[in-house]
Amino acid sequence: MGGFEELGKRLDKLAEKVKSRTQEEAEKAGVEIKEWGKRLDELGEKIKKITQEGVEKVSGETKGIVQITKLRSEIREIEKDIDTLTKQLGVKTYQLHLENKIGNVELKKLGGKITQFKKDIEAKEKGIQRLREK
């Protein structure tokens, strides 16, 4: 039986070594897991910070784009108003030309051209009317 006792003692020693080694490795793994946890936390914080900065930058740029778009829209409206007033000015000037109340030579020439264009249109409309009557 002495051989079995010796074998049992060796197995006990081996089991104790395995147990001890397993605990050491588990402790090392625990430390590594904690280190990786810290690294992942740091990485998460960096990602959060970069994302936040990106969102703030895009938000600021978007705000600027919106303001630019609004100003461009306002400019287009003002330009439409200018066009409307310019047409009204032209109509009024032409009416004054027809009443011979314009003294400016250039305005008289422009008024004369408009009158000629109107006569040309009238002649073409009469031509259309004649063609339709055939």
Render pLDDT for 87-131 as a digit per residue (tens, 0 to 9): 999 999 999 999 999 999 999 999 999 999 999 999 999 999 999
State yes or no: pLDDT of 2 exceeds 70: no
Coil, strand, or helix at residue 116? helix
- Identify the pLDDT of residue 78: 96
Which is more confidently placed, 89 or 11? 89
pTM equals 0.52
DSSP character string of 65-105: HHHHHHHHHHHHHHHHHHHHHHHHHHHHHHHHHHTT----H
Q: Under a CB-based contact definition with an 8 Å cutoff, are residues 98 and 110 in contact?
A: no
Radius of gyration of the chain from Cα atoms? 47
- Identify the pLDDT of residue 32: 86
Render pLDDT for 28-81 as a digit per residue (tens, 0 to 9): 888 888 888 888 889 889 888 888 888 888 877 788 888 999 999 999 999 999
